[in-house]
Amino acid sequence: MTTDQEQISVDFVRQIVATDIESNKNDGKVITRFPPEPNGYLHIGHAKSICLNFGIAAENQGVCHLRFDDTNPCKEEDEFVQAIKKDIRWLGFDWGEHEYYASDYYQQLYDWALKLINDDKAYVDDLSAEEIRQYRGTLTEPGRESPHRNRCVSENLDLFQRMKAGEFDDGQKVLRAKIDVTSPNINLRDPVIYRILKAHHHRTGDDWCIYPMYDFAHGQSDSIESITHSICTLEFEDHRPLYDWFVESLEIHHPQQIEFARLNINYMVMSKRKMAELVNQKIVNGWDDPRMPTLCGMRRRGYTPKSIIKFCARVGVTKFNSLTDIGLLEHSLREDLNQIAPRAMGVLNPLRVVIENYPEGQTEELDAVNNPQDESMGTRKVPFSRVIYVEQDDFMEDAPRKFFRLSVGREVRLRYAYFITCQSIIKDEKTGKAVELRCTYDPLTRGGDSPDGRKVKGTLHWVSAEHAVDAEVRLYDRLFTDPEPSGGKDDKDYHDYLNPDSLKVLTNCKLEPSLGKAEHGMQFQFERLGYFCVDPDSTADAMVFNRTVALRDSWAKADKAKS
């Protein structure tokens, strides 16, 4: 998937896979899987896992399955299934016909539970959830055996079948694996493997009223699908002995579980629960709010699949709990957009400029390059006239020497147009703020070069007032002000770090006319400003652009450093 020569190192998971292929384990085959629970939207953290699982399969002529771990009917919905599939496809990965659901295996899982009971390795327990918790012990004290632990096989069989038949209410009984209640690993203290849940399932409807727990479904699902390498995140490391216990007790194919560290990025929250809160508490405008780290949010923001994949490759795969700088993500984004985004001119905060010696009523069409990185993208015409808009930030009344922009008496270039010199300022009487600049132009500099070889330090973007397209532009900033909003410092919650300026809406923006034809999702670089894309809210009459990411700005940086 990496298209250029930048070396992406072989991570420890790939090393294990390579070793297994070499030793001909699994007949040299590689089958991985991406196993989301359909209870929420995918985010950038999932992208890391998707890239890993699909990437390893592709690199080894293997396949990667998409399997929905849908064992909890109370939380899961088809809406999420569809959204997840859309996001994975958008990233560019293909699971072919290998679309599976843990719920496809409910019957098999049930039969295996029966086998465990028959082997005296599982029993029905009547304890309440609260009692089970008490019997489980603590981190430092061993658990105690349930009084029902030694029920005979036939009684267990009878009870479990009656659980399935719906004879008991939710929570009245559970099926537990009989392992070791004194184990230092709490996951092995007779874990619950089936619970009664009289709930409607998004795929199996009301066929079942008992549902397997994750631990009893995941490994076996892997096994059924002949998964060779079951790659998951660190928090499941403690579950591996249980994973192994089930496949060994059941004497079925034994996939190898390998754990890696999940992705963390500073200034973001990366948990499904917190994201759901942001949505439900209306802190953001839905799962696809461009400030969200969800894949649908990032797509709307203007992230490209390639930039996300490249980022994931750069982040690498280890067991170290890291906090990646968001700058790395943004670098990957700019890198891609710089190559593919056509350039255009747009003025976000317009300042009117009248070119006094330019003939009234005259219009010219000037040639502009669409992408200096890619000649094949050609050129376009941009109209020029007597009244134009420039950026308010490109004018300063008391300008320092190093300010290469407009100020009274200073000459700058209008990109692809003319050199202009600021002659005077018209101010608002009340505020004293400049509302218009009176300038003169040099007709000999048409196209942007002076025949006398005169140089100017600054080049400004501009838009002809008469031809401008009006637009709304939404500027996004990080959602949180703290690099670790969930860090739990000083009893603070991530809500305490919400950035009040994470969204700024500009409604008076002026864009060059070629942008008037832009369609949903199209991406541009507004020269000197950043990358922007057309938001789905946009209509022909009321265009809406999102700023995907600003350009690097060494002037702003130097300016900020001084103050």
Of 194-253, binders to RNA (CB under 7 A) are: 195-197, 211, 213-215, 218, 234-239
Residue 281, interface with RNA (CB under 7 A)? no
- What 8-state DSSP symbol labels residue 498? B
Q: 419 — phi, psi (to 5°)? A: -80, 135
Minimum CB distance to RNA smaller for 367 or for 428: 367
Q: 423 — phi, psi (to 5°)? A: -100, -40
Q: 42 — phi, psi (to 5°)? A: -70, 145
Among positions 404, 438, 472, 522, the unique one binding RNA when judged by CB under 7 A: 404
What is the Cα–Cα distance from 168 to 176, expressed in whole angstroms? 16
Both tokens of residue 413?
Answer: 């270039």
Identify whether the C-beta of residue 339 lies closer than 8 Å to the C-beta of residue 373. yes
Active site includes 155?
Answer: no
Of the residues 29, 115, 121, 272, which is catalytic?
272
> Going edge to edge, which strands form the sheet with 387-391?
459-460, 411-414, 419-427, 434-441, 350-355, 387-391, 463-464
Minimum CB distance to RNA smaller for 289 or for 317: 317
Give the nearest distance from C-beta 243 to RNA in angstroms.
11
Give the nearest distance from C-beta 129 to RNA in angstroms.
4
Residue 459, interface with RNA (CB under 7 A)? yes
Among positions 147, 166, 409, 458, the unique one binding RNA when judged by CB under 7 A: 458
Q: How far is CA 266 from the centre of its chain?
A: 13
Q: How far apart are the first and last CA of the chain?
A: 44
Of 314-333, binders to RNA (CB under 7 A) are: 314-325, 327-328, 331
Nearest alpha carbon to residue 112 among 236, 215, 226 = 215
Give the nearest distance from C-beta 414 to RNA in angstroms.
8
Residue 87, interface with RNA (CB under 7 A)? no
Minimum CB distance to RNA smaller for 449 or for 466: 449
Among positions 363, 373, 379, 508, the unique one binding RNA when judged by CB under 7 A: 373
Q: Is 123 exposed, middle or buried (0-12, 13-18, 19+ CB in 10 A)?
A: buried
Give the nearest distance from C-beta 324 to RNA in angstroms.
4
Give the nearest distance from C-beta 409 to RNA in angstroms.
15
Among positions 2, 78, 119, 133, the unique one binding RNA when judged by CB under 7 A: 133
What is the Cα–Cα distance from 213 to 51, expressed in whole angstroms? 27
Among positions 129, 152, 435, 444, the unique one binding RNA when judged by CB under 7 A: 129
Identify whether the C-beta of residue 337 lies closer than 8 Å to the C-beta of residue 455. no
Residue 295, interface with RNA (CB under 7 A)? no
Give the nearest distance from C-beta 525 to RNA in angstroms.
6
Identify whether the C-beta of residue 384 lies closer than 8 Å to the C-beta of residue 464. yes
Instruction: Select the span of 168-176, 427-435, 469-477, 539-547 touching RNA (CB under 7 A).
Output: 168-176
Instruction: Select the span of 276-284, 412-420, 429-437, 467-475 touching RNA (CB under 7 A).
Output: 412-420
Of 472-531, binders to RNA (CB under 7 A) are: 525, 527-528
Active site includes 330?
Answer: no
DSSP-based helix, strand, coil % in the chain, nearest 5: 35, 25, 45
Give the nearest distance from C-beta 518 to RNA in angstroms.
17
Both tokens of residue 19?
Answer: 């070793």
Of 45-74, binders to RNA (CB under 7 A) are: 69, 71-72
Of the residues 29, 37, 145, 335, which is catalytic?
37
Size of the site for RNA (CB under 7 A): 90
Neighbouring CB atoms inside 10 A of 150's CB total 10
What is the Cα–Cα distance from 293 to 308, expressed in whole angstroms? 11
Residue 7, interface with RNA (CB under 7 A)? yes
Of the residues 149, 262, 274, 446, which is catalytic?
262
Minimum CB distance to RNA smaller for 80 or for 236: 236
Give the torsion sign (CA, 41, 44, 45, 48).
positive
What is the Cα–Cα distance from 109 to 122, expressed in whole angstroms? 13
Both tokens of residue 278?
Answer: 């942001």
Residue 3, interface with RNA (CB under 7 A)? no
Active site includes 436?
Answer: no
Of 258-277, binders to RNA (CB under 7 A) are: 261
Identify whether the C-beta of residue 304 lies closer than 8 Å to the C-beta of residue 333. yes
Give the nearest distance from C-beta 462 to RNA in angstroms.
11
| Residues designated as active site | 37, 262, 272
